[in-house]
Amino acid sequence: MKQSYTFNNIIDKVNPSWFVFLKQNEDILKDILLQIERERTNGKEIFPRPSYLLRTLRFFEPKDTKMVILGQDPYPGFEIHNDKIIPHACGLSFSVSKKIKKIPGSLRNIFKELKNNYPDYKIPENGSLLKWAKEEKILLLNSGLTVIKKSPGKHLKYWESFTDSLIKYISDNCKQVIFLLMGNYAKKKVNLINAKNNFIVMTVHPSPLSANRGFIGSNVFKKIDVLLENHEIQPINFSFS
């Protein structure tokens, strides 16, 4: 039997320090999950699986958040390994499981720009960004936290108020967090962020459809380095080696 999208299932592994936020938004979250679970029981294939939902809130406390990388929608694609569907969506924006053989285009372009910024940067062999979350305290957040298989954008309407509240919660309760907003959709979230206490960095989306119109060659990661250096904050290590 497939695991269901219920409140208790998805908060099971969340770092307890996020429970203040979750308690404030419990009714909203339960209503979202009810709608998603209704779709699942009616035959819709939903990504990521319940065990990976809210995964980005597992690895550190709100006060330790160093950076937020905001995506729009989880990946709607998947691969089949040994007759089993492995979703691209893994609960971390832009990231995929190490099992996924083909790195998605947006993530390939992120790695490409990192290589442009740091010539010695070694592009990883897989698309897992788990190290960024665990070791660098980067919150890899999508505005929509679930997606229907092969149907991007269908769940944004469910999640947007919840994730907007999360962005604002981090902005209001943390200081000197870098919010990396890539693309027009992410840039619309700028009004949720307290720019006096935090840093906002904006650039073109790394999607293959837009990356060559301003993301590639933007030196966005070097700009983040300079920003942190100017405020005497330890730089972020984007390397996987």
Q: What is the CATH number of the domain that holds 81?
A: 3.40.470.10
For the chain, the domain total comes to 1
Kindly report the pTM of this predicted structure.
0.96
In a domain, 52, yes or no: no
Mean pLDDT of 38-45: 95
Per-residue pLDDT at 126 exceeds 70: yes
Question: Which of 234, 236, 213, 215 has the alpha carbon at shortest distance from 116?
Answer: 215
In a domain, 94, yes or no: yes
Mean pLDDT of 79-107: 96
Structural domain boundaries, residue 158? 61-230
What's the pLDDT band for 56 if we cut at 50, 70, 90? very high
Q: Which is it for strands 78-81 and 199-203: parallel, antiparallel or unpaired?
A: unpaired
Per-residue pLDDT at 1 exceeds 70: no
What's the pLDDT band for 2 if we cut at 50, 70, 90? low
Asked if 73 is an active-site residue, the reply is yes
Q: Helices 220-230 and 105-117, interaxial angle, to 10°?
A: 60
In a domain, 25, yes or no: no
In a domain, 10, yes or no: no
Q: Do 129 and 95 touch, CB atoms closer than 8 A?
A: yes
In a domain, 110, yes or no: yes
Out of 73, 83, 164, 172, the active site residue is: 73
- Retrieve residue 131's tokens: 């190290």
Could you read off the pLDDT of 27-39 as tens digits, one per residue? Answer: 999 999 999 999 9
In a domain, 31, yes or no: no
What's the pLDDT band for 241 if we cut at 50, 70, 90? confident
pLDDT at 141: 98
Round the average pLDDT of the chain to a whole number and report it: 96
Q: What is the largest CA-CA distance in the chain?
A: 53
* CA–CA distance, 154 with 199 (Å, rounded to integer): 30
In a domain, 213, yes or no: yes
Mean pLDDT of 154-169: 97
